[in-house]
Amino acid sequence: MAKRTPKNRRRPREVASDRPVVVVCRGGDCGNRTKHPGFDHVAQLRRIRLDLDGVADVVSSSCLDACDHSNVVVVLPGEDGRAAGADPVWIGRANDADTTADIVGWVEDGGPGTAHEPTLVAINAFRPNRLNRHELEEAVGTG
């Protein structure tokens, strides 16, 4: 029997397999103006999409269930990064322009497995748990 997607839940967006994928969490505490006052979540997502247009697929997730690390951005390696053995990199506390700029610049340079992680990416990287990884699979349609 085919798996049905509830009406209130979006279907995963199809992503190109040859380039990196950037998943920006916008559910739970990520994107929450009360928890992160003064940070423009909409502008961050817009900047990532504009700056990485043609370089990476950018996907917004309704929740990656990693609220302790909000705001969360996950960078999945492109074809070259996967060939080098890279795993997705989970970045927490992406709540400022400098961290966003480091993420964008790193992905422009190739991302996981192909470019050196910038300082703010390395400092804010964390290991996801099984539930987080499952939510990522739901967001980008991997499995």
Q: Convert the pLDDT of each residue in 33-74 to its tens digit.
A: 777 788 888 899 999 999 999 999 999 998 888 888 989 999
Q: Answer for the pair 78, 110: CB distance below 8 angstroms, yes or no.
A: yes
What total of structural domains would you count in the chain? Answer: 1
Please check whether residue 32 lies inside any domain of the structure: yes
Please check whether residue 8 lies inside any domain of the structure: no
CATH number of domain containing 65: 3.40.30
Better-scored residue on pLDDT, 7 or 35: 35
Per-residue pLDDT at 29: 76
Residue numbers of the domain that contains 49: 21-140
Mean pLDDT of the chain: 85
The residue to which tokens 């053995």 are assigned: 85
Please check whether residue 104 lies inside any domain of the structure: yes
The pLDDT > 90 percentage for the chain reads 57
Please check whether residue 78 lies inside any domain of the structure: yes
Per-residue pLDDT at 14: 53
Please check whether residue 11 lies inside any domain of the structure: no
Cα 99 to its chain centre, rounded Å, is 13
Q: Convert the pLDDT of each residue in 70-88 to its tens digit.
A: 899 999 999 999 999 999 9
Please check whether residue 4 lies inside any domain of the structure: no
Per-residue pLDDT at 3: 39
Per-residue pLDDT at 33: 72
* Sheet architecture: strand order including 21-25: 57-61, 21-25, 73-76, 89-91, 125-126
DSSP secondary structure letter of residue 48: H
User: Which of these ranges, 10-14, 32-36, 67-71, 103-107, has the smallest mean pLDDT?
Assistant: 10-14
